[in-house]
Structure 1
Amino acid sequence: MLRELTVNDFTSVLAEGKATPGGGAAAALSASLAAALTSMVFNLTIDKKAAKDCPESVVDSMKEAREATDRFRERYLELMVDDASSFDELMAGFGLPKNTDEEKAVRKEKIDKAKERVLEVPLMLAEEAFEMYDSLRVATEYGNKNAISDAGVAAILIHGAIEGAALNVFINLAGSEVNEENIGLKVKTDELVEKSRTIKEDILSIVIDKIYGRQ
């Protein structure tokens, strides 16, 4: 199973001349790494010297955010697998026979369903990766300052995941019918990427200020 591979094996498989895993799976892995880094910041803060002066309400917020990041980490790995498997299903659909009208109808149905899934998965990744920012903001605001750079790396990775997922949405829309629904998806995805870029830059500004003692 894809998520059970070692880092070395995963990168080797990714480098092969095969359609899957590809950029969508890599984007999902990036999101999972961002969640893991954010959890690490919390684990270096909660119940540690770094949190001794934090009000109980802040500690509770960090604990809730840590629980969320742990869920996100697992969820993004699920989407990594889903991204690869959905594209495999699409390729399998294209490989079905088309010698008779019945075969053509079955093939078309399989391809149409697979195309929906191939578009749906990266869209879910973009939207669900964006949800990580709430927890990441908590880590950036209250996390151990010695690990603040890790929060910054998480921001870069989560934005990269969103941009990567968006590219997969776009390439699938490019091969689809131009209609109001698909145009709306394109606009929605563009807006999500821009919102993510703004938040990422805000977080990085805070991180840089804390690194140089300006906060």
Structure 2
Amino acid sequence: MKLIDLTLTDFVSVLSSSEPAPGGGSASALAADMGVALSRMVAELTIGKKKYVEHHDLINSILPQIIDIQDKLLKAIDEDTLAFNAVSSVFSMPKESNEEKEARKEAMQVALKGAALSPFIMMESILKGLELIQLMVGKTNSNAISDLGVAALNLKSGLQGAWLNVLINLSGIKDEEFIKKHEEQGASLVQKGTVLADSIYQDVLTIIK
């Protein structure tokens, strides 16, 4: 059964068990997806309200993008665990002969790259989500402004958590070019996203006060 098909109680139960997966990667995807879901709620509470008619075109253009990101991050909850399981499965491969050892090493490198790419792709979606939320601040239903702040906090948590999962998998990869590319791009994503999330949070605080 997919993780996303579990009840909240069952998901938390398996997350807190001694099983190594799901772990931080799937939890990060869930946190980020909750943030995007909140931003979608705010958009839905804005569209159709006369008070915000001047912003309807903007919010209507943002909403389909939010829905797309929400779907991607929901799928990432399971994809991250599947990527981790692929790494774990390598340990059961035979390693008696030199050929088997070499095949095992190659399989591990492929699996580790997959495990690094899963949260990296997640980070790209999260940054896009934060960019959309920034466009929404001050142009949506004022009664739900706090929800945009919470959305930014959730996305920031998901972003930083995903970054940790990228880094821990990169640490076992031998491909220096792959490592350099994803370290540089990942650092840029987390820096931009953190700044955006903090800015959104401060703007929301200012509006509320």
State which of 113, 116, 140 in structure 2 corresponds to 1:119.
116
The gaps in structure 1 that reach 5 residues or longer are none
Tell me which amino acid in the other structure corresponds to 1:168: N
Deviations 1:16-64 (A, max 9, x none): 111100000011111111110000001111112442xx32xx3121012
Asked if the contact 2:113–2:170 (Cα under 8 Å) also holds between the matched residues in 1, the reply is no
Alpha-carbon distance, 1:181 to partner: 4.0
Instruction: Give the structure 2 partner of residue 149 of structure 1.
Output: 146
Encode CA deviations 1:188-207: one digit per residue, 9 max, x unaligned. Answer: 22222121121112111211
The TM-score, its normalising length taken from structure 2, stands at 0.93
- The 3-state SS of whatever aligns with 2:59 is helix
* Contact 1:66–1:135, Cα closer than 8 Å, also in 2: no
* Counterpart secondary structure, 2:46: coil
Alignment partner of 1:185 out of 170, 182, 187: 182
Q: Which residue in 2 is equivalent to 1:36?
A: 37
Q: Which amino acid aligns with 2:156?
A: H
Name the residue aligned to 2:164: 167
Q: Which residue of 2 aligns with 1:85?
A: 82
Q: CA deviation at 1:187?
A: 2.8
TM-score (normalised: structure 1): 0.90
RMSD: 1.6
Question: In the aligned structure 2, how far is the partner of 1:183 from the partner of 1:106?
Answer: 25
Runs of 4+ with >4 A deviation: none
Aligned length: 208
Alignment of 1:6-155 (within 5 A): 6-51=7-52, 54-55=53-54, 58-155=55-152
Equivalent residue in structure 2 for 1:158, among 155, 170, 184? 155
CA distance in 2: counterparts of 1:111 and 1:197, whole angstroms: 32
- 8 Å contact kept, 2:123–2:162: yes
Over the matched positions of the two proteins, sequence identity in percent amounts to 32
Question: Unaligned stretches of 5+ in structure 2?
Answer: none
Secondary structure of the residue that 2:74 maps to in structure 1? Answer: helix
